[in-house]
Amino acid sequence: MDDEKPVLEQTTDAMSSAADATKEAAKTVVKKVKKAAKKVAKKVMPKKAKKAKKAAKKSSAKKSTKKAVKKAGKKATKKVAKKKKKAKKSKR
C-alpha cells in the first residue's frame, strides 16, 4: 500500500477494481454459456423447428382461406339484401 494515499482511498480503489474484475468475469462466463446453449439448440432443435414452421404455415393458410370464405359469404348476402331494397324502391 502507498503511504501517500489515505487508507480509505486505497481500500475503495481495491474494492472497485475487484468489483470490475468480477463483473468482467461474469460477462465472459455468460457469453460462453450462451454460445454453448446455441450450439446444443442447433443440434437438438432443427427437426422440431422445421416441423413447427411448416405447421404454422399450414394453419395460417387454412385460417386465411376460412376467413376469405366467410367474408365472401357475408358480402354476397349483403349484396343480395341491397339489390332487394333497390328493387322495392324502384317499384314505388
Q: Output the tens digit of pLDDT for each of the chain's 92 residues.
A: 556 778 888 888 888 888 888 888 898 999 999 999 888 877 777 666 666 666 666 666 666 666 676 666 666 777 777 777 777 777 76
Q: Between 46-91 and 7-44, two packed helices, what is the crossing angle to 10 degrees?
A: 70
Looking at residue 91, its pLDDT comes to 72
Looking at residue 41, its pLDDT comes to 79
Looking at residue 11, its pLDDT comes to 87
Give CA–CA dist 85/75, Å, rounded. 15
Residue recorded with cell 423447428: 49
Please write down the long-range contacts of 36-42, taking CB distance under 8 Å and 24 or more positions apart. none
Looking at residue 19, its pLDDT comes to 86
Looking at residue 48, its pLDDT comes to 61
